[in-house]
Homo-oligomer: A and B are copies of this chain.
Amino acid sequence: MEAPELAVTQWFNTPAPIALAALRGRVVFLHAFQMLCPGCVAHGTPQAKKAHELFQNSDLAVIGLHTVFEHHAAMTPVSLEAFIHEYQLSFPIGVDQPGENGPIPVTMARYRMRGTPTAILIGRDGAIRHHGFGQEDDMALGAVIATLLSEPTPP
């Protein structure tokens, strides 16, 4: 399944908005989280940070997505910005566009995510290759990323 485009209202850690379409040919690790989700803070977000450092000289693009679907007033971009600063996150992070008909934001709905953290891996051809909810094992995730990186770039 082709990865849907991101719908982001505000970006951090990037000089310009990011579109998946422009990353075609690269592997993308999309880390969906909420700043007040304990499993994200303890595992998911540190894991995305580690992947960002470990694969920094590769074709992997790590992108954070703040998919707020609860406690909306508590997790505004102002609070997210402080969170990013305190946890020293340097990969690009986008704020998922609020949904029009409910608490689920737009990108989260497009990807049919079940909650946070969610780890999505997109191959060089733009297809979703991994879609995991909850705690991911580091070794398994490293293997998935390396496998996708080893695939040839589509013409």
Q: Which residues of A contact B (CB under 8 A)?
A: 36-38, 41-42, 47, 50-51, 54-55, 70-71, 73-75, 78-79, 81-83, 85-87, 137-147, 149-151
Are B83 and A36 in touch, CB under 8 angstroms? yes
Q: How many monomers of this chain does the complex have?
A: 4
- The prevalent SS among residues of A at the interface is helix
A43 smallest CB distance to B (angstroms): 11
How far is A128 from B13 in the complex, measured between Cα atoms in Å?
A: 39
Ordered by A's residue number, 17 sampled pairs between the chains whose C-beta atoms are within 8 Å are A42-B42, A51-B139, A70-B82, A71-B82, A71-B85, A74-B79, A79-B79, A138-B138, A138-B142, A139-B139, A141-B142, A143-B143, A143-B145, A144-B146, A146-B146, A146-B147, A150-B151
